[in-house]
Chain A
Amino acid sequence: MIKDFASALRPSLAMTGLFAVVLCGLYPALITGVAQAAFPQAANGSLIERDGHVVGSALLGQGFASDRYFHGRPSAAGANGYDPTASSGSNLGPASQVLHDRIVKDLGAAKTSPRSSSPGSVPSDLVTASASGLDPHISPEAALFQIDRVAQARGIDPARVRLLVDAQVEKPLAGFLGEPRVNVLALNLALDAATAKGASSSQ
């Protein structure tokens, strides 16, 4: 019996070491080499720079509170939301009092801000927390819902903001993969760029 164990131990030890070298050393090193050479932008986190500073990642949402910006979804990542060191959903269940109270509060805030172009109810993605807490997207309806607030805060024509939103709408791939969506950070960057241009051309 002891002989059987001993005969199993040597290959177990050796194979652990050998596989570790190939699967945990060579394999990730190979992928990292290829990735850094062929897709450096994606491999390093799809970072976005403005004026030489990293302002975020094209794939990650970030918190927006000001009326001048489009807002993303409620986030349960970290204490203040949108913390990439603590990705998480709320994990609140379908009959949770805490969930109910949170949505009531967010609905109240959404409804008191100025809006006229979207008389319907609040789009549900605007008051539900995403799975990652880092969802970079909102639905096109959720973007349209915020147009008047943003236009008013910036003192520009809502029709101009609407054009910016329309330009940012991404459609499902091949008609059935994914949902129509708007990347909030990309939209806000476009908004800043357009407003800055508008301001400088009017001077």
Chain B
Amino acid sequence: MTFVGWTLILVFTALIALLAKPAGLWLFALYEGRRTPLHGVLGPVERGFYRVAGIDPAREQGWRTYALHMLMFQVVTTLFTYAILRAQAVLPLNPRGLAGVGADGSMNTAIAFVTNTNWQWYAGESVLSNFSQMVALTLHNFLSAATGIAVAFALFRGFARAQTKLLGNFWADLTRVTLYLLLPISIVYAVFLVASGVPQTFASTIDATTLEGVKQTIVVGPVASQEAIKMLGTNGGGFFNANSAHPFENPTALTNFVQMLSIFLLGAGLTWTFGKAVGNPRQGWAILAAMLTLFVAGASIAYWQEAASTPLLHGLGLSGGNLEGKEVRFGLAASALFSAVTTAASCGAVNAMHDSFTALGGLIPMFNMQLGEIVIGGVGSGIYGFLLFALLAVFIAGLMVGRTPEYVGKKIEAREVKLAVLAIAILPLCILGLSAIASVLPAGLAGPLNKGPHGFSEILYAFSSATANNGSAFAGLSAGTPFYNGLLGVGMWLGRFFIIIPVLAIAGSLAAKKHTPATAGSFPTTGPLWVGLLIGTILIIGGLTFLPSLALGPVADHVASASGKLF
């Protein structure tokens, strides 16, 4: 560990805290449907969309209609992507003549991108054409992110409004977030990436002859335009197999730093937006404080472990930390930090191979995902997932003092708590249940590359990643089989929509309630006591469930390798 390494982690965290309000202000304008400076240019586009699609943006929806339109849109875009991947061979921008993708692989990828997971069983550079990358996948990079923010907006309205059924219009939220937020930032961001070295061309391959006379086929494509929204929308699906470790996706230490910032930017901003929406920005700051505390703890442990390296490397006389699976231009600190950022959010991009992390360094990304990616979290999904834990925390506080719990001016009653528990329970159910299935069936056991406890870690990581909609992997797992494509697809779909639907139901239930003014007896949800209670609830309810499985994977791995055992 070095002073420079800690500086990086601290500067990064401070910048996120500083960016939360500006990003939150912009998001708040979209939440309220206010005019932004960009309406002059893009306003006609927005109105054109509504006209063609037959949408009245002023006509608000109750939670059931909001959910139905959202779901229908997800199903249609899933089929859109499935069809393109299947038909890849006959579609344009495919100079290498890549074949169509198989049925199970296409369905897995369509679900992966619709759910903002971006799990990739394939290697982008050898399986997908530029058309598939640009059309089938980039569409979801925008729209899955916008969908997450739309759902978060609906939940915010549930808290902010009183005695109404209406939560906003899904199409208006989706369109405004995409056109006035994601698209403009992506344009500037993509140009910055190209200027830094990321390719952007419709060409596909270039043949080079190396200095030693070997042929090297260099794969290029429209990388920058996809990379920008991949990070901003916490999607994480790389153009290339190596993702943000690939020098064409992430060429410099500066692009790496900006990529990390852009993963957290909107998620951090949404905490401020929430506070503003419920009339007290300090409510948002309290959430961000709890998130950043958990984040810095995770990032620090990961950095400490990677710098401490492994008994294997020490035994061979290698000093300077664990560099297996890491890039020289990033080094230990930026690799460990990136791993914590990408799993705290639901991004899943990687700039180092988590599979080759130290046992406990690799536990951190896995644990971040198992908490439900609520430490900043995915765009939209982070804040609504976090608010489920907030409801649980006020419920627990209410039990302790024997009062009906309240949160930001709403009484939290049996229906909301039941729905919150339902949504929170889907994670352990899918992660542990599906991992257990894969750990006993031959088709599942054929997957892991590594032997011993690390092989189990690969399986557990995969289902944690899929269900939490992350998309990163212990990539040694051979997941491109019908068994894993199917089972992981189930995990991704349930992990996305079996949380979104209860969240919208909670929003509907809250919106119908009256505002309850805070009294001397109300539990304050802004101070350090509240932040501590939140962190405790998250770690106990969210984390404890997974301790036995972590003991079988990374912890066993650590103990065995510390005693010099190799597998």
Q: Which A residues are within 8 Å of any B CB, using their own CB?
A: 4-5, 8-16, 18-20, 22-25, 27-28, 30-32, 34-36, 38-39, 42-47, 53-66, 69, 73, 77, 80, 82-97, 99-100, 103-104, 107, 121-125, 127-139, 172-173, 175-179, 181, 185, 188-189, 192
| B327, A131: Cβ atoms closer than 8 Å | yes
B310 within 8 Å of A (CB atoms): yes
**When the two chains form their complex, are residues B190 and A31 in contact, meaning their CB atoms are under 8 A apart?**
yes
Q: Contact at B329–A181, with CB atoms within 8 Å? A: yes
Shortest Cβ distance from residue B212 to the other chain A in the assembled complex, whole angstroms? 6
Q: What string of 1s and 0s marks CB contacts (under 8 Å) between B5-47 and chain A?
A: 0011001000000000000000000000000000000000100
Q: How far is the CA of A56 from the CA of B189 in the complex (A)?
A: 26
B254 contact set on A, CB distance < 8 A:
173, 177-178
Known: A39-B195, A59-B247, A94-B357. A44 touches B201 (CB 8 A): yes
Q: Which residue in chain B gives the minimum CB-CB distance to A41?
A: B197
Report whether B52 and A28 are in contact in the complex, using a CB–CB cutoff of 8 Å.
no
A62–B216 CB distance below 8 A: yes
B165-207 contacts to A, CB under 8 A, are 171, 174-175, 178-179, 183, 186-187, 190-191, 194-203, 205-207
Residues 296-337 of B at the A interface (beta carbon under 8 Å): 310-313, 316-331, 334-335
Bound together, the chains give a CA A62 to CA B212 distance in angstroms of: 9
Shortest CB-to-CB span from B453 to chain A, Å, is: 8
* One of B70-78, B154-162, B280-288, B492-500 at the interface: B70-78
Among B72, B318, B334, B566, the residue within 8 A (CB) of A12 is B72
**Segment of B133-141, B398-406, B526-534 engaged in the interface with chain A:** B133-141
- With A39-B195, A100-B566, A188-B211 known to touch, is A90 a contact of B317 (CB < 8 Å)? no
3 smallest beta-carbon distances between A and B, as pairs: A178-B253, A131-B245, A91-B476
Residues of A within 8 A of B4 (CB): 172, 175-176
Residues in chain B near residue A5, CB distance under 8 A: 68, 72
Q: Which of B99-107, B271-279, B348-356 lines the interface with chain A?
A: B348-356
Among A57, A80, A189, contact of B211 (Cβ-Cβ < 8 Å): A189
Q: Which of B8, B225, B351 contacts A131 (CB 8 A)?
A: B351
Contact string against A for B residues 64-84, beta-carbon threshold 8 Å, 1 for contact and 0 otherwise:
010011011101110010000
Distance in Å from the Cβ of B225 to the closest Cβ of chain A? 4
Complex CA–CA separation, A114 to B68 (angstroms):
70
A19–B139 CB distance below 8 A: yes
Q: In the bound complex, do residue B319 and residue A121 qualify as a contact, i.e. CB atoms below 8 Å apart?
A: yes
Q: Which residues of B contact A35 (CB under 8 A)?
A: 190-191, 194, 200-201, 224
User: Are B197 and A86 in contact, with the CB atoms below 8 A?
Assistant: no
Please state if B567 and A96 are interface contacts (CB–CB under 8 Å): yes
- A55 touches which one: B179, B203, B210, B313 (CB < 8 A)? B210
**What A residues does B257 contact at CB under 8 A?**
177
Bound complex: CA of A28 vs CA of B217, how far in Å?
A: 24
Complexed CA–CA distance, A87 and B325 (Å): 12
Docked pose: A104 CA to B312 CA in angstroms: 11
Assembled-state Cα–Cα distance A3/B448 (Å)? 48
Say how far A106's CB is from chain B's closest CB, in angstroms. Answer: 10
Q: Does any Cβ of A come within 8 Å of B450's Cβ?
A: yes
Residue in chain A with minimal CB distance to B179: A22
Chain B residues with CB below 8 A from A63, complex form: 210, 212, 214
Is residue B208 within 8 Å, beta carbon to beta carbon, of the partner chain?
A: yes
Q: Is the CB of B191 within 8 A of A31?
A: yes
Contacts of B411 in A (CB 8 A): none
Residue of B nearest to A102 (CB): B324
Taking A15-B175, A47-B206, A92-B356 as given, write out 15 further A-B residue pairs in contact, using a Cβ cutoff of 8 Å, ordered by the A residue number: A11-B55, A23-B139, A44-B203, A46-B199, A86-B125, A89-B324, A91-B476, A93-B355, A93-B452, A94-B557, A99-B312, A128-B318, A128-B324, A129-B325, A131-B351
Question: Does A131 lie within 8 Å of B73, measured CB to CB?
Answer: no
Residue in A44, A57, A121 whose beta carbon sits within 8 Å of that of B318 in the complex: A121
How far in angstroms is the closest Cβ of chain B from A140?
Answer: 10
Q: Is B58 an interface residue (CB 8 A)?
A: no
Contact of B187 among A27, A103, A107, A175 (CB under 8 A): A27
The smallest beta-carbon distance between A92 and chain B, in angstroms, is 6
Residue in A39, A56, A89 whose CB lies within 8 Å of B210: A56
B330:A8 contact, CB within 8 angstroms: no
The reply to whether B242 and A131 form a contact with Cβ atoms under 8 Å apart is yes
Chain A residues near B125 (CB-CB < 8 A): 84-87
Which chain B residues border A38 with CB–CB below 8 Å?
191, 194-195
B324 in contact with A92 (CB, 8 Å): yes
Closest Cβ–Cβ distance, residue B387 to chain A (whole Å): 26
CB-based contact A178/B325 at 8 Å = no
19 sampled A-B residue pairs with Cβ under 8 A: A4-B65, A8-B73, A9-B76, A15-B49, A15-B171, A23-B138, A23-B139, A27-B186, A31-B191, A32-B222, A45-B206, A57-B208, A62-B212, A87-B242, A91-B353, A93-B450, A132-B327, A134-B242, A177-B334
Residues of B within 8 A of A69 (CB): 211-212
Cα separation A40 to B421 with both chains bound (whole Å) = 53
Least CB distance from B139 to A in Å reads 5
A93 and B72 within 8 A (CB): no
Are B187 and A47 in contact (CB-based, < 8 A)? no
Taking CB atoms, residues of chain B closer than 8 Å to A39 are 194-195
Q: How far, in whole Å, are A10 and B324 apart by their CA atoms in the complex?
A: 51
A8-B69, A86-B126, A92-B476 known; A60+B327 contact, CB < 8 A = no
Q: Is B374 an interface residue, CB under 8 A from the partner? A: no
Contact of A45 with B220 in the complex, beta carbons under 8 Å: yes
B143 touches A19 (CB 8 A): yes
Does B358 belong to the interface (CB within 8 Å)?
Answer: yes
A89 to B357, CA, bound (A): 12
B349 to chain A, nearest CB (A): 12
A42 neighbours in B (Cβ, 8 Å): 194-199
- The residues of A that contact B451 with a CB separation of less than 8 Å are 96-97
C-alpha spacing A95/B357, complex, angstroms: 10
A residues in contact with B248, CB < 8 Å: 45, 59-60
Q: Does A23 lie within 8 Å of B356, measured CB to CB? A: no
